[in-house]
Amino acid sequence: MGQLILLRHGETEWSLAGRHTGRTDISLTPHGETVAAQLAGAVSRLRIRAAFTSPAKRAVRTAELAGLGSAQPDPDLWEWDYGGYEGRTTQEIQVNRPGWYLWRDGVIPGDAAHPGESIAQVGARVDAVLSRVRPLLAEPDGDVALVAHGHVLRVLTARWLGLEPAGGRLFSLDTGTISTLGTEHDEPVIATWNVPAA
């Protein structure tokens, strides 16, 4: 069975500032582009049979720079829709909601462009992604790469392991990193996690 290769997009101004970036389509910083390009070395050593990316330009650009320019957009790989918390930091949110924790407390509705999503909705999206990539992974000679965002990839990892979507809280994931999900004795495992570009 092939492995599922996860690339979190490179740094953006908002990720650097800790601002929740769901559906706001912002670009990589120059440093984010440099780090994304450095992922190409690790990607070139893999046997990628198929690649998919979030439609967000920060993910598409990361895919291009990492050598996955043929990655197909998949709307189910968009980041968690943070609704009314879009663009805000945890500290800013906690001014009005002391102790707020995304994985437990969720988000509030926003405007038409950011209606917000529950963790169950994010879980359903990543379940759909996994149902599409598992047949590809079962074929011989090849891995599948997904280029997306921190929270959605963390939820996807939880679901790969058979955990509830909120299990994604257990997996910290930095920008510009590569991780590998696989199997051992036919059971799902994390093979590598949060590996920075070399």
- The residue from 79, 86, 114, 117 that is catalytic is 79
9 an active-site residue? yes
149 an active-site residue? no
Which amino acid type is present at position 152?
V
142 burial class (0-12, 13-18, 19+ CB within 10 angstroms)?
Answer: middle
- The residue from 9, 20, 149, 151 that is catalytic is 9
- Please identify every residue annotated as catalytic: 9, 79
